[in-house]
A and B are shown apart, each in its own frame.
Chain A
Amino acid sequence: MVLTKRLRAVGYVRVNCNLSQERVSLDRLPTGTPAVVVGVDAGDDDAERLKVMGLCEGAPVHNLRNGNRMITCVAGTRLGLTAAVARRVTVAPREQDEPTP
């Protein structure tokens, strides 16, 4: 409980250190698996849009629906996006029992 509170207080940085699985692109993250964004293919307008919408490094994320048109949950809301765009976001899955920041 204390650990949970502490993790929440320090936010994403600490969670980032608890990476325990292989990195995958967001479109390949299984639904329901919590993960943290570790990188967004930078360089253009779309990447900038993704970041403004909350898909930037350190953000906790999980997918609600996978497929060609997928739904991901980030920064407290759902985002609908194409798999092609999601492919540019790299995430690191977290253990199921890790607290969601």
Chain B
Amino acid sequence: MSASHPLPVLDRPTPTPPTDGGAACVALVGNPNAGKTTLFNRLTGLNAKTANFPGTTLECRLGHARVDGLALTLLDLPGLYGLTTGHLEEQLAADALVGRVPKLPHPDAAVVVVDATALDRHLYLASQVRELGVPTLIALNMADLARKQGIEIDLPALSAEFGCPVVAVSARTGEGIETLAHELQTLLNAEAHPPAPESITACTECDGCPHTARHRWAGEVSRRTSKTTRRSIRRATDAFDRFAVQPVFGVLLFAVIMAGLFVAIFWAASYPMDLIEAGVAQLGNAAGAVLPEGDVRSFVVDGVIAGVGSVIVFLPQICILFFGLTLLEDTGYLARAALVMDRLMVKVGLPGKAFVPMLSAHACAIPAIMSTRVIDSTRDRLLTILILPLLTCSARLPVYAMVTALLFADQPIIGGLVFFGAYALGILAALSVAFVFKRTILPGKPKPLIIELPDYRAPSLRTALLTTYDRGLVFLKQAGTIILLISVVLWVLATYPKLPEDQLAAVASPADAALVASLEAQDTDAAREELGLLHARYAVAHSFAGRLGRLVEPVFAPLGFDWQINIGVLSSFAAREVVVATLAIVYGLGEDAAEDTPTLTQTLAQQTRPDGTPVFNLATSLSLLVFFVLAMQCLPTQAVARRETGSWKWPLLQLGYMTALAYLAALATYQVTSLFMA
């Protein structure tokens, strides 16, 4: 795309001023590091929602604000460097500014958020917006930082250069917000709006390179209207950057920072997670006490509450992750991290910016996929989304814990190595798949990194909290809709058709039938409980899920799985951690035993095949482990991938390749290990 695209100049008279009582719509536009989102959050607080540009995955945020008596609808557009490069994002933002995007409100005015500490760069976009013909106001953000850096800006002079009001604000401290509201009110009520000054329109009309002319103009205006007396903060940033992006030290620094964040996620999240688990259990008990025994109770307690609860338990991890990442991004450090990691990532066809999502995926693939929005090239973003679920998320940990406990309960070192091996296998698989996709379905090189490195600054707690709230809400909405639906479907499959109590003896094996008869004769509480567990076990086998488990036996037999493991694999299709609970039920322990690892593993270790050999031998256990490292087994992730990629094509490809990879790898593991054991 070499030619510049013309600016979409507004072709209608100035917009009508808002009528009394009706909120005027104001679009916020600015460079990625201008503090636009901080200003948006400052003005709207919790009254905001995320919206998509129709037909795309590109996001903007809509919010309502009342500042100094002025009611506003705010439209926060994506961060941009210019309006004319022909990128879809920039085209859409330009269209949105002049009200040409359907389903988005027509802006009555535009507020260009400009970083007062980097006028040269930011005035470029401001001049383009000014040319659109929308009533424009320039908000000189970070006025407090500019003062600290000894930057003095002549506001009236700058206002004269642009022919529009200029207000100094600090979105972080709230300074100047009232003045901003006042000036906006005046702007919105004005009868007429002067056109852009000729010095600005001359940049577009000149014959030479339009970028050169505009940058030159921006530089000149910046010099005419501001002067700097100190540059100490900038120098400190420069000095630190010389080390922060060094190939060795930079990687080490990044490793330490991310390790700190992840330790925080795993430890700090464990407390609220315990609380949520306890809360879900109590809710289940309360519902169980109120509802009469039967299908309705089972549906509510085992289907809805347990199903949604098992996913909501990850909410603290997701929130802490986004809180930490937003703080880190706000300091300006993540831009450096992208530069450091780019060097390593590019070798497998991934961009440097994919590294943070890949680390996040070790907590949960859902926020990781959501955080790929920082990657601006569609190809790079798709490739990253496709490989993210291969990385070991925390939902795999119960499975890993079960298998290592099963195999190496008395050998903690080997157990630890197996754990490490499972993590390493996930990372290796992700990088290999990226490498293969780079040469097949997503050819090409990652978009070369060109990234602005802003000055380091103290992060905004408010922005971090509001982003956390927003991401948490998106996750909860998923849990409330698609995850709820999945839980219900799974419950139906595992419950119907039902096995009547009196037919237990008829379907049980001869040995179990004798046990049933003796237990029924005893008629004690203990016997009844034992009978209940036995019934649960045969009920699962009798259900659709159980029948499916037997049906797919020929498919999974080469992997060393028996039909009970198959039920585990199938039932965990939607959420992998379910496998532990399912195995506990099908081997007749009851769901509570899944919490109690020693009991579960002892029971699993005692299971035998018809020929008397143990079911969970080394080959089958490793095969099961490898399968769970690589298989998709998470419908919520798929639902999020569908939302983020805008079609089912990519999540289906993800499901297909991961299942095939998991199957083949587990097959190889079982067959090879069996050979060595024989």
Contacts and interface: CB of A to CB of B under 8 A. Distances in A.
Interface of A: 8, 11-12, 42-54, 56-59, 64-65, 67-69, 71, 75-82, 84-85, 101
A52 B81 contact: yes
A48 B451 contact: no
A68 B211 CA distance: 27
B453 A80 contact: yes
Contacts of B4: 48
A58 B214 CA distance: 11
A6 B238 CA distance: 29
A43 B336 CA distance: 28
Contact of A46 (B82, B86, B450): B450
A77 B2 contact: no
B215 A75 contact: yes
Given A52-B82, A58-B212, A82 B118 contact: no
Interface in B212-263: 212, 215-216, 218-220, 222-223, 237-238, 241-242, 245, 247
B154 interface: no
B342 A69 contact: yes
Contacts of A67: 247
Please report whether the interface of chain B is mostly helix, strand, loop or mixed according to DSSP: helix
Contacts of A81: 448-451
A80 B118 contact: no
B70 to A, nearest CB: 32
Interface string B332-359: 0001101110110010000000000000
Interface string B452-473: 1110000000000000000000
In this complex, the member of A43, A53, A69, A81 whose beta carbon has the largest number of chain B beta carbons within 10 angstroms is A69
B121 A44 contact: no
Contact of B450 (A42, A59, A75, A85): A85
Given A54-B124, A85-B450, A69 B343 contact: yes
A54 to B, nearest CB: 6
Interface in B351-394: none
B171 interface: no
Size category of the binding interface on chain B: 35 or more
Nearest to A80: B339
B215 A49 contact: no
Nearest to B341: A69
Nearest to B222: A76
Classify the interface of chain A: helix, strand, loop or mixed.
mixed
B171 to A, nearest CB: 19
Residue of A44, A67, A81, A101 ringed by the most chain B CB atoms within 10 A: A81
Nearest to B250: A69
19 contacts: A42-B2, A44-B1, A46-B447, A49-B450, A52-B124, A57-B212, A58-B216, A65-B245, A69-B247, A69-B340, A71-B241, A71-B339, A78-B238, A78-B452, A78-B453, A80-B338, A80-B451, A81-B449, A84-B448
B173 to A, nearest CB: 23
B209 interface: yes
Interface of B: 1-2, 4, 81-82, 85-86, 118-121, 124, 209, 211-212, 215-216, 218-220, 222-223, 237-238, 241-242, 245, 247, 335-336, 338-340, 342-343, 346, 447-454
Contact of A53 (B241, B242, B450): B450
A48 B209 contact: no
A2 B124 CA distance: 28
B336 A64 contact: no
A71 B240 CA distance: 12
The 5 A-B residue pairs with the shortest CB-CB distance in the complex, in nearest-first order: A76-B120, A80-B339, A51-B211, A78-B453, A52-B82
A84 B346 CA distance: 12
B2 A64 contact: no
Given A11-B220, A49-B85, A80-B335, A56 B448 contact: no
Given A65-B242, A71-B453, A44 B209 contact: no
Given A54-B215, A64-B242, A67-B247, A77 B452 contact: yes
Contacts of B452: 53, 77-80
A56 B118 contact: no
A79 B222 CA distance: 19
Contacts of B218: 75
Given A64-B241, A75-B120, A75-B121, A48 B86 contact: yes
A79 B450 contact: yes
A8 B223 contact: yes
Contacts of A84: 448
B241 A85 contact: no
A85 B448 contact: yes
A8 B221 CA distance: 11
A78 B238 CA distance: 9
Contacts of A52: 81-82, 85, 124, 211
Nearest to B352: A69
B619 to A, nearest CB: 45
Contacts of B346: 82
Contacts of A50: 450
A42 to B, nearest CB: 6
A51 B81 CA distance: 10
A67 B451 CA distance: 16
B222 to A, nearest CB: 7
Nearest to B342: A69
A46 B449 CA distance: 9
Nearest to A31: B242
B156 to A, nearest CB: 20
A68 B1 CA distance: 26
Given A53-B452, A54-B215, A79-B452, 13 more contacts: A11-B216, A51-B211, A52-B124, A54-B120, A56-B209, A65-B242, A67-B247, A69-B247, A71-B241, A75-B218, A76-B120, A80-B453, A85-B450
B444 to A, nearest CB: 12
